[in-house]
Amino acid sequence: MTDLTRLTAAEIAARIASGEVTAVEVTEAHLARIEAVDEKVHAFLHVDREGALAQARAVDEKRERGEELGPLAGVPLALKDIFTTKGIPTTVGSKILEGWIPPYDATVTQRLRDADVIVLGKTNMDEFAMGSSTENSAFGPTGNPWDLTRIPGGSGGGSSASLASFQAPLAIGTDTGGSIRQPAAVTGTVGVKPTYGGVSRYGMVAFSSSLDQGGPCARTVLDAALLHEVIAGHDPMDSTSIDEPVPAVVEAARNGSVRGMRIGVVKEFAGEGYQAGVMQRFNESVELLRELGAEIEEISCPSFDKALAAYYLIAPSECSSNLARFDAMRYGLRVGDDGTKSAEEVTALTRAEGFGAEVKRRIMLGTYALSSGYYDAYYGSAQKVRTLIKRDFEKAFERVDVLISPTTPTTAFPIGERADDPMAMYLADLCTIPTNLAGNAAMSLPCGLAPEDGLPVGLQIIAPAMADDRLYRVGAAVEAALADKWGHPLLEEAPSL
Amino acid sequence: MTVTELVSYEDALAAYDPVMGLEVHVELGTKTKMFCGCSTALGAEPNTQTCPTCLGLPGSLPVVNATGVESAIKIGLALNCEIAEWCRFARKNYFYPDMPKNFQTSQYDEPIAYNGYLDVDVDGEVFRVEIERAHMEEDTGKSTHVGGATGRIHGAQHSLLDYNRAGIPLIEIVTKPIVGAGEKAPEVAKAYVTELRELIKSLGVSEARMEMGQMRCDVNLSLRPRGVEKFGTRSETKNVNSLRSVERAVRFEVQRHAAVLDDGGTIIQETRHFHEEDGSTTSGRVKEEAEDYRYFPEPDLVPVAPTRAWVEELRGGLPELPRVYRNRLREEWGLSRHEMQSVLNAGAIDLITATIDEGAPADQARKWWMGELARRANEDGVELAALPITPAQVARVCALVKEGSLNDKLARQTIEGVLAGEGGPDEVVTKRGLKVVSDEGALGTAVDEAIAANAAIADKIRGGKVAAAGALVGAVMKATRGQADAARVRELILEKLGVEG
C-alpha cells in the first residue's frame, strides 16, 4: 500500500473523493507519522488527535451521504500556533500565553474547518513570530528534517519542518518579514506570502499589524494554490482585508508557463554575504527561465538596501503596542499573585518570566522608537523608506511581470550558530523583507541543493499586489522543469528520519 | 491634602485673568460599539456585552462603526468645523486595567473635525468659544475598587472590571484656550457645556445625559496676572459631570490658583478631582513629566476618507441648530436676548412653541408660561414641564380670552382649576361658572347703577376726564364679581355718558 504521507494534498483529496481511501485513514497515517518522527523534529507544540479524527470522520460521513466535497476535503494540515483555535491552546510560541484557551476561531481556522481541511495540530514557531530559526520558541527549537542539527527557518519552522518530514502535506504560516518564505527555502518546500490584505488577519495574533500576512505552505506549487484559495478572500472582520476577487491561483498553478514573460533579477540581492552554492543554484534558475521562454532583465531597486533598517524600526514599534495587552490581568501566565504584591508588580514579574529575550529586545526597541522626540527620526523615517521601497517595486513592475532573487542568502545554518548574534540572524530576511514593507506578494520554491552542504536553496518570485496568480504560473513552470531535470521532487532526497 | 485658604473670587479676578480649556467627551448613541458589533445598551449584567475585539483578546481586530463616523461628522459640522478629507485613527499607548489592549484607539494629529466655533449666550451677550478639534475614540471599561475608603484604587482590596462600556464610541471635543471671559469665566464654561449639550441632543447623536455619564467634562484652568500675555500653568480637573459643577469647578480653581500665586507659590500641572459635596477640587496624580503616549497611526484600520458629497449631504440634513432656532424664535416672538435667555433658563422654549402650535398668540403663550405658570412651578419646586397642564390647555385658555369668554382674572382662575385637577379649561369654566357677563341688558343695568351711585365721578367724565372711567369700570366689575368684559364695560360707560373714548 502507498505511504499516504508521501502523497501531495491534491492526490490525497482525489483519493478520498474517489473512495480509494478514507479521510480517517489519511489522518491516522499522518498522526502515526507524527508519533514516529516528531520527537526528533519537534514541529508540533500541540497535536489535536481527537479533534482531527472527529473532523476526518465527518468528512467520510459527508462522502457517504453523497454530499459534494471541497477540493481539499480530508487533507491534513499543520497550523502555525499563531492562529486562534477555539478550545485548543494557542501559545504563539510564548510562555506568556500559557494556559490560554481561545474562545474563538481565527478566520483562517474557520475557513479551513469549513473546507473540511483536517487540522492535525499547532506548530512551533519563534515566540510571537520574532525570529528566523524557531530557536526563539519558549518550547524549544525545531530541527530541520534535512539535518536535525540545523534550523528549519523561522518564524514558521514548525510548519516548514512538518512538511519536509512528511508529517503533513499542508501547513499554514505567517510572514511578517519572511517567516513563510525563508523556512520554505531552507527546508525545500513551497511557501507563499500573499498580497497584504489577501488573507484575513482576524484571529492571527499580531506581531506587526502592517506587515503580518498569513499564507499557504506546501510541498508543491499546486497544493499551495489549492490552500491559498481556501484561506484567501475578503473578511469583514479585518478592515485591511481586500474586498476584491481572489486572483485565480489554482488555474495559474495548473497552467505553469513563463513563455513571453518578462522577469527581472533584483540586482541588489547578490554579492557579499551570499553563499556561493545559493548563487549557483539561483543563476541556474535564471538560465532555466530563459530556456523556458522568459525575457530576463536585471532590475535595480536601490532602496532595498535600507529595507532591513526600516523593518527593524516599524516591526518593533508596532509590536511594542500590540504586546502591551499581555499584562497578566485577563489571560495567560500570572506570576507572583500571592496576595502580597501590587498589580504592577504582578505584571512586571509575569512579563519578565513570560517574554523571551528577543521579544523583550523588540518591545524595548519599539518603545524607544515611538517615544516623543525620537518618533520622527525613527518611525517617521522608516515609513518614508517604506514609500521609497514601494516606488522601487512600482517602477520595476512597469518593466517586468515578476522579480526573482534567492529567498535567503544562505542555506540552513546550525542551531545555536546565530542565537547570540541578532544582526546575523536578521540578515536571513534580507531578501524577503522588502515585499512585506510594500505589501505585495511573493513565493519561495526549491531550486536545488547547494553543492557545498547539500542543503536546499530557495528561489524567490515576487509579484505586484493582487497579482498572486503570477507567482503560481512562474512557480509551476520552474517546478515542472526542475522535476524533469532531477527525475523526482527534491524532497525525495531528504533523509527519511 | 493641603488646605489652601481661598482668595475671594472678586480679589482673584482683580489680579488675574483666567484662561480655560474645556474637553468634553460625548458617548454616542449608536446601537453597537465603535469597533465591534457588541450592544451599547446600558444596565446589562457586567461583561455580558463583550467579544474578542472589545476585550482585546490576542488576534482580535477592530472594524469602524460607520454610524459613529457619521455622528462625528455631524457634530463637526454643527460646530462649524472643517471636516478632514482623509484622516486616520491612532493608538494612544498607556496602561490601565480597564483598557483591554493597553492602548486606546483614538485620533491624534489627524482629527475628523477641526477649527470650529460655538457661539454661546452669556447675560444676553454672544461669546464665541473656538473649537480646536473633535475626534473619534473608544471608551474604556469601568473599574470598581472594593475595600478602600475612597472608592479610588489606593487602599482597595481588589478591583472589579466591567468591559461592557469598553469600546463604546466617544467623541472628544476640545476647545482652543478660552480667553477674554474675565469674571464671567464660570458662566461662559457653563453656557458652553449647556449649548454643546443642546446641540448634541438636537443632532440626535446622543442623549447627552450628564448624570448617566453620557457627557463628561474636563476643566483645564490657568491664571495669568492681568496684563501678562503668557499663559500660566494649568490644572486639569477631571470628570466634572453636571452643568452646575462646571461653573463651580471653574470658580473654585480660580480662587485656589489665586491663593497659591498670591502666596508666591507655583501651580503644579496636575490632575484634580472635583467634589460635588462642597464644590472643591483635590489633587489627583502629579504629572512629573509629560505623559508619553507614543501615538502612531493605527495599522489595523484603514484611513477614514469621507467624500465631499457625503459631507455635504450630512450638512444639508442637519437640523436647525439650537442657537439659530432660538434666535429665530426670539425674533418671531419679539424678545430681547435677555428675555430669551430667561425663557431658555426656565426651560420654557418647547412649551411655548407647542402652545403657539396649538393656536395661541406668541405673546400670550409666553405670558402664561413665563408668568403665572413659572411662578407656580417655582412655588411648587418643580420643572415647568412637570406642571399638570398641557400646552393645548394653555392655548385653549388663550382662545377663550380672545373670543371674550374670559377676561384675564377669569383666565387665571381657569388655569388654577386645571392645575388643581378639575379638568380641562372648558370643564373648569363650566364647573366654576366663570363666564364673562356679556348680556348687554344685564351689563347695561349694572352700568346704569354704577353711574347713579357715583354721580360725582360721572360728572368728571362728562367734563372730559376720561381717565376717571376706570373707577366706574371697577365698580361694575365688582358688581358682576369680575365676570364682565372690562373693555366692553368701559365702552358702555363712555357711550352712556356721551363721551368719545
**Which residue in A321, A345, A364 has the most chain B C-beta atoms within 10 A of its own C-beta, making it the best mutation to test that interface?**
A321
Percent of all residues in chain A with a pLDDT value above 70, rounded to a whole number: 100
- The pLDDT tens digits of the residues spanning B391-418 come to 999 999 999 988 888 888 889 999 999 9
CA B455 to chain centre: 59
CA B367 to chain centre: 22
Encoded amino acid at A88, one letter: I
Q: Which pLDDT does position B3 carry in this prediction?
A: 55
Encoded amino acid at B270, one letter: E
CA A248 to chain centre: 20
Q: How many structural domains compose chain A?
A: 1
Q: Which of A179, A208, A241, A303 is catalytic?
A: A179
Burial of B165 by CB count in 10 Å (0-12 exposed, 13-18 middle, 19+ buried)?
Answer: buried
Same domain for B52 and B19, yes or no, is: yes
Percent of all residues in chain A with a pLDDT value above 90, rounded to a whole number: 95
Asked, for residue A362, whether it belongs to a domain, the answer is no
Asked, for residue B324, whether it belongs to a domain, the answer is no
Could A237 and B56 be called an inter-chain contact, meaning their C-beta atoms sit closer than 8 Å? no
- The pLDDT tens digits of the residues spanning A390-405 come to 999 999 999 999 999 9
- Contacts with B, A 204-243, CB within 8 Å: 204-206, 208-210, 236-240
Beta strands in B292-340 (DSSP E): 296-297
Same domain for B374 and B486, yes or no, is: no
Q: Which residues pair with B121 in a beta bridge?
A: B126
Asked, for residue A445, whether it belongs to a domain, the answer is yes
Could B102 and A237 be called an inter-chain contact, meaning their C-beta atoms sit closer than 8 Å? no
Could B294 and A372 be called an inter-chain contact, meaning their C-beta atoms sit closer than 8 Å? yes
CA A112 to chain centre: 16
What are the cell numbers at A223?
497544493
A370: closest chain B residue by CA: B294
A367: closest chain B residue by CA: B294
Asked, for residue A39, whether it belongs to a domain, the answer is yes
Percent of all residues in chain B with a pLDDT value above 90, rounded to a whole number: 62
pLDDT bin (cut points 50, 70, 90) of residue B287 is: low
- The pLDDT tens digits of the residues spanning B22-78 come to 999 999 999 999 999 999 998 899 999 999 999 999 999 999 999 999 999 999 999
List of chain B residues whose C-beta atoms are within 8 Å of the C-beta of residue A367: 294
Same domain for B65 and B205, yes or no, is: yes
Report the residue from A84, A372, A375 with minimal CB separation from B58: A84
Could A202 and B61 be called an inter-chain contact, meaning their C-beta atoms sit closer than 8 Å? yes
Is B385 in a helix, a strand, or coil?
A: helix
What is the mean pLDDT of the segment spanning A11-29? 97
A368: closest chain B residue by CA: B294
- Alpha-carbon separation of residue B252 from A22, B264, B276 (angstroms): 80, 19, 12
Does the beta carbon of B63 lie under 8 angstroms from any beta carbon of chain A? yes
Does the beta carbon of B141 lie under 8 angstroms from any beta carbon of chain A? no
Alpha-carbon dihedral A181, A38, A275, A177, rounded to 10 degrees: 30
Residue B2 has pLDDT above 70, yes or no: no
Least confident of A81-85, A205-209, A411-415, B376-380: B376-380
Does the beta carbon of B59 lie under 8 angstroms from any beta carbon of chain A? yes
The contacts of residue B6 (CB under 8 Å, 6+ apart) are B252, B255, B256, B258, B259
> Rounded to a whole number, what is the distance in Å from the CA of B119 to chain A's nearest CA?
35
Q: Order of strands across the sheet with B296-297?
A: B103-106, B90-93, B296-297
Q: How many structural domains compose chain B?
A: 3
Same domain for B386 and B446, yes or no, is: no
For residue A250, give the CATH number of its domain.
3.90.1300.10
Q: Which pLDDT does position B4 carry in this prediction?
A: 62
Asked, for residue A341, whether it belongs to a domain, the answer is no
Q: Which pLDDT does position A112 carry in this prediction?
A: 98
pLDDT bin (cut points 50, 70, 90) of residue B225 is: very high
Could A239 and B59 be called an inter-chain contact, meaning their C-beta atoms sit closer than 8 Å? no
Respond yes or no on whether the N-terminal peptide bond of residue A155 is cis (omega within 30° of 0): yes
Q: Which pLDDT does position B438 carry in this prediction?
A: 63
What is the mean pLDDT of the segment spanning A342-370? 96
Same domain for B274 and B414, yes or no, is: no
Same domain for B350 and B373, yes or no, is: yes
B55: closest chain A residue by CA: A330
**Which residue in B57, B92, B289 has the most chain A C-beta atoms within 10 A of its own C-beta, making it the best mutation to test that interface?**
B57
Does the beta carbon of B274 lie under 8 angstroms from any beta carbon of chain A? no
- The pLDDT tens digits of the residues spanning A418-460 come to 988 888 889 999 999 999 999 999 999 999 999 999 999 999 9
> Rounded to a whole number, what is the distance in Å from the CA of B58 to chain A's nearest CA?
5
What is the mean pLDDT of the segment spanning B315-335? 91
Asked, for residue A413, whether it belongs to a domain, the answer is yes
- A 10 A CB-CB count for A236 gives 11
Q: Which pLDDT does position B492 carry in this prediction?
A: 84
Q: Which pLDDT does position B5 carry in this prediction?
A: 81
Does the beta carbon of A249 lie under 8 angstroms from any beta carbon of chain B? no
A207: closest chain B residue by CA: B59
Asked, for residue A259, whether it belongs to a domain, the answer is yes
Same domain for B95 and B75, yes or no, is: yes
Could B294 and A329 be called an inter-chain contact, meaning their C-beta atoms sit closer than 8 Å? no
Residue A233 has pLDDT above 80, yes or no: yes
Given B386, B410, B432, the domain boundary residue is B432
**Which residue in A86, A98, A237 has the most chain B C-beta atoms within 10 A of its own C-beta, making it the best mutation to test that interface?**
A237
pLDDT bin (cut points 50, 70, 90) of residue B1 is: very low
Output the CA angle B376-B380-B386, nearest 5 degrees: 80
- The pLDDT tens digits of the residues spanning A32-72 come to 999 999 999 999 999 999 999 999 999 999 999 999 999 99
Phi, psi angles (nearest 5°) of residue A64: -60, -35
Same domain for B386 and B461, yes or no, is: no
Q: Which pLDDT does position B288 carry in this prediction?
A: 57
Asked, for residue B156, whether it belongs to a domain, the answer is yes
Q: Which residues pair with B103 in a beta bridge?
A: B93
pLDDT bin (cut points 50, 70, 90) of residue B450 is: confident
> Rounded to a whole number, what is the distance in Å from the CA of B31 to chain A's nearest CA?
18
Residue B170 has pLDDT above 80, yes or no: yes
More confidently predicted of B156 and B222: B222
Asked, for residue B318, whether it belongs to a domain, the answer is no
Report the residue from A239, A325, A372 with minimal CB separation from B300: A239
Report the residue from A238, A330, A371 with minimal CB separation from B294: A371
List of chain B residues whose C-beta atoms are within 8 Å of the C-beta of residue A371: 292, 294
Beta strands in B36-96 (DSSP E): 82-83, 90-93
> Rounded to a whole number, what is the distance in Å from the CA of B178 to chain A's nearest CA?
27
Could A239 and B296 be called an inter-chain contact, meaning their C-beta atoms sit closer than 8 Å? no
Same domain for B139 and B253, yes or no, is: yes
Given B291, B309, B337, the domain boundary residue is B291
- The pLDDT tens digits of the residues spanning A187-200 come to 999 999 999 999 99
Report the residue from B64, B91, B159 with minimal CB separation from A321: B91
List of chain B residues whose C-beta atoms are within 8 Å of the C-beta of residue A317: 296
Asked, for residue A323, whether it belongs to a domain, the answer is no
**Which residue in B300, B301, B302, B304 has the most chain A C-beta atoms within 10 A of its own C-beta, making it the best mutation to test that interface?**
B300
CA atoms within 13 A on the CB side of A174: 35
pLDDT bin (cut points 50, 70, 90) of residue B373 is: very high
Encoded amino acid at A126, one letter: D
pLDDT bin (cut points 50, 70, 90) of residue B501 is: low
Same domain for B427 and B444, yes or no, is: no
Mean pLDDT of chain B: 91
Does the beta carbon of A101 lie under 8 angstroms from any beta carbon of chain B? no
Tell me the range of B217-226, B340-349, B434-443 where mean pLDDT is highest: B217-226
Report the residue from A209, A239, A321 with minimal CB separation from B93: A321
CA-nearest of B302, B303, B59 to A240 is B302
Asked, for residue B321, whether it belongs to a domain, the answer is no
Encoded amino acid at A292, one letter: L
Given B385, B413, B432, the domain boundary residue is B432
CA B122, CA B337: separation in Å to the nearest integer? 10
Can you give the three-state secondary structure of chain A, one letter per residue? CCCHHHCCHHHHHHHHHHCCCCHHHHHHHHHHHHHHHHHHHCCEEEECHHHHHHHHHHHHHHHHCCCCCCCCCCCEEEEECCECECCECCCCCCHHHCCCCCCCCCHHHHHHHHCCCEEEEEECCCHHHCCCCCCCCCCCCCCECCECCECCCCCCHHHHHHHHCCCCCEEEEECCCCCCHHHHHHHCCEEEECCCCCECCCCECCCCCCCCCEEEEECCHHHHHHHHHHHECCCCCCCCCCCCCCCCHHHHHHCCCCCCCEEEEECCCCCCCCCHHHHHHHHHHHHHHHHCCCEEEEECCHHHHHHHHHHHHHHHHHHHHHHHHCCCCCCCCCCCCCCCCCHHHHHHHHHHHHCCHHHHHHHHHHHHHHCCCCCHHHHHHHHHHHHHHHHHHHHHHHHCCEEEEECCCCCCCECCCCCCCHHHHHHHHCCCHHHHHHCCEEEEEEEEECCCCCCEEEEEEEECCCCHHHHHHHHHHHHHHHHHHHCCCHHHHCCCC
Least confident of B148-157, B172-181, B340-349: B148-157
Same domain for B54 and B93, yes or no, is: yes
Tell me the CA end-to-end span of chain A in Å, nearest whole number.
20
Q: Which pLDDT does position B337 carry in this prediction?
A: 83
Q: Is A200 a catalytic site residue? A: no
For A269, the domain range is 4-304+387-493
What are the cell numbers at B123?
447675560
Could B296 and A375 be called an inter-chain contact, meaning their C-beta atoms sit closer than 8 Å? yes
Asked, for residue B313, whether it belongs to a domain, the answer is no
CA B461, CA B467: separation in Å to the nearest integer? 8
Q: Is A155 a catalytic site residue? A: yes
CA B369 to chain centre: 18
CA A218, CA A169: separation in Å to the nearest integer? 6
Specify whether the backbone of B204 is left (phi greater than 0), alpha (psi in -120 to 50) or beta.
Answer: left
For β-strands A76-80 and B82-83, DSSP reports them as unpaired
Same domain for B379 and B474, yes or no, is: no
Asked, for residue B305, whether it belongs to a domain, the answer is no
Question: What pTM value is reported for the model?
Answer: 0.88
Q: Are A441 and A215 within 8 A, CB to CB?
A: no
Asked, for residue A262, whether it belongs to a domain, the answer is yes
The contacts of residue A194 (CB under 8 Å, 6+ apart) are A213, A214, A215, A216, A228, A232, A441, A468
CA-nearest of A49, A19, A177 to A121 is A49
**Which residue in B47, B60, B108, B304 has the most chain A C-beta atoms within 10 A of its own C-beta, making it the best mutation to test that interface?**
B60
Task: Count the residues in chain B.
Answer: 501
Q: Which pLDDT does position B472 carry in this prediction?
A: 86
For B360, the domain range is 346-432
Mean pLDDT of chain A: 97
